Amino acid sequence: MMHRKPILGILTLMSLLPLLTPLTIFALLTSWSFRAIAGEQRVLIAQSFQPPDRGAPSNSGGGGTRGNGEISISANNIIPLVPRDQATNVLWGQTLSETPTFFLYVPAQMPSPIKFYLVDDTEGELIYEETVIPPAAGGIMAIDLPRNPGKTLQVEKLYNWYFEIQVNSQPSVTTRNPIVGGFVRRIVASPELSSKLQTASSANDRSQIYADHGIWYDLLATAASLRTTNPGNWELLLNSVGLEALVEAPLITAIDGATNNPVANNSVNR
């Protein structure tokens, strides 16, 4: 049922038609139509990502391994699900979690294992590494950072992550493995943000809060967990950061290269 206010607005507009240009009429009708459905589909139409106010990290300095550029081998392109900053051309995002989830698209028939690294960007210290074997079908896999002492993110610290395709078991200067990487920074929630998250009544509400405040990793993990029940959010979110080609890619579970067991992941396995 259409809301009463938009109907009155349209009637008012009709009385003014002789005084308005076609372009103005179209703009007003579009605005009223948007508002009419906003109350019923707020989560669906508002789920685009707003980049954080603070700037992205630069592509120089620091002690971590820099791997912000996508390097492909043949047709075997792997794509991290992270926004690319237009000014610095680096992949990066923020999180509130000490154990965020990292998502990566892998094509079908990936011939090699993939190794994930997390490095303290200031100290150059390796925080975590894990080798995974993607399923032959391909899709979007996720890696959760474990809750082990010394392997969680510290607040207001920048970390460099990257995925390495293990083409060569013993890479050298002349036979380097292809990598793609970027950054994550754990931030502290402001009192206002904390209050909003504590009073959010649903995961949909929390995802909207993450989107509005530029909290990428938490937003993506929440959207992934809701993908089955709210696929429109997933599509709009990926479209908003230039990842529209991955909207239909399935969420998959990789195999731990060390144990041959499925990689546990809260977002994929919900």
Q: Name the DSSP letter for residue 62.
A: S
Helices (H) then strands (E): counts for the chain: 7, 9
Of 111-115, 224-228, 237-241, 265-269, the range with the lowest mean pLDDT is: 265-269
pLDDT tens digits, one per residue of 73-102? 333 588 999 998 888 888 999 999 999 999
What local confidence, expressed as pLDDT, does residue 221 receive? 95
Average pLDDT over residues 204-226: 93
- The residues that bridge with 73 in the sheet, in sequence order, are none
pLDDT tens digits, one per residue of 146-192? 888 778 999 999 999 989 988 877 766 566 788 888 999 999 999 99
CA angle 261, 217, 44 (to 5 degrees): 110
Q: What is the dihedral of CA 100, 131, 71, 63, to 10 degrees?
A: 60
What local confidence, expressed as pLDDT, does residue 220 receive? 96
What local confidence, expressed as pLDDT, does residue 63 receive? 34
Backbone angles phi, psi at 142, to 5 degrees: -130, 145
Q: Give the pairing type, strands 101-106 and 139-144.
A: antiparallel
Separation of alpha carbons 7 and 9, rounded Å: 5
